Amino acid sequence: MLPIVLEVLGSLLAWLCLYAAFCLWNRHRPPEWNCRLVTLLHGAIATCLSGYIALWDGPWPLSHAGSPNTSLQVHVLSLTLGYFIFDLLWCLYFQTEGDLMLLHHTLSICGMVLVLGLGKSATEVNAVVFVSEITNPLLQTRWFLREMGLYHSFLGEVVDFCFVLLFLVLRIGGGALIMYAMVTAPDPNWILKGGGLAMYIVSLGFMIEICRFVRRKMLKKYHSWTRPRSVDASMKTNGHSAAH
């Protein structure tokens, strides 16, 4: 366990140093800007590494839940665990996130600690990291576009569409398959099964928020489409008496 603990501490230190470097580089930017740069970088790295493990290196998470951890899985989870500890500490210090996000971070940290301690079940947890982190770069891109005043554009529409699509297909649909494989497999620890179900419930909470966002956006688009027509109609009839 000592090499894994040192690897996690090294990962935490690396993310802290990266955040400090961004703060020195972007002194005119607020702390959240620099933290989201770290989050964007981690999301891209974690997505690529966990996707490679889940889809190529193996073992397949839907059929090998509870299998022993591979060295590559340990390295990726240690890297991700260090980041989640950094981000949770940052969120608690600056108080920027709600209870749902803090619960998500806490469950993620506990799950990765348990898997690294048990020496098994990294296969399914790595798959959860993949379906969870694949939408993160899009989420951070959306925030940066909004900060730079570029969100209300075609690019902003594309980012929102891809984010919602990937979230529903992979995090909700793919996440459901991973949770079913984990719960029905005999090898995973029962605590890990309960934590996996809790994580999926948190994802459903995020899905409700996303559905509300989509509803608000569609209503705004509907009003923007109907308002010009009503204005044109009023201009055409302006100055003319209504028919009796």
- Give the structural domain span for 61: 1-225
Separation CA 113–CA 74 (nearest Å) = 11
Residues 6+ apart with CB under 8 A from 174: 127, 131
> Angle 71-94/122-133 helices, nearest 10 degrees?
50
pLDDT band at 213 (very low <50, low <70, confident <90, very high): confident
Separation CA 87–CA 232 (nearest Å) = 51
**Any domain includes 240:** no
Answer whether the bond into residue 228 is a cis peptide, omega within 30°: no
State phi, psi for 15 to the nearest 5 degrees. Answer: -65, -35
pLDDT of residue 56: 92
pLDDT band at 242 (very low <50, low <70, confident <90, very high): very low
178-208 pLDDT, tens digit per residue, is 999 998 888 888 888 898 899 899 999 999 9
State phi, psi for 160 to the nearest 5 degrees. Answer: -60, -45
31-78 pLDDT, tens digit per residue, is 999 999 999 999 999 999 999 999 998 899 988 888 999 999 999 999
Q: What is the mean pLDDT of residues 153-176?
A: 92
**Any domain includes 236:** no
* Residue type at position 8: V
225-238 pLDDT, tens digit per residue, is 776 555 454 445 44
Question: For a pLDDT cut of 70, what percent of the chain falls above it?
Answer: 92
**Any domain includes 25:** yes
**Total H helices, total E strands in the chain:** 9, 0
**Any domain includes 244:** no
**Any domain includes 98:** yes
**Any domain includes 235:** no
Q: How many CB atoms lie within 10 A of CB 229?
A: 9
pLDDT of residue 239: 43
Length of the chain: 244
**Any domain includes 50:** yes
Residues 6+ apart with CB under 8 A from 45: 79
**Any domain includes 130:** yes
Number of domains present in the structure of the chain? 1
Separation CA 111–CA 236 (nearest Å) = 64
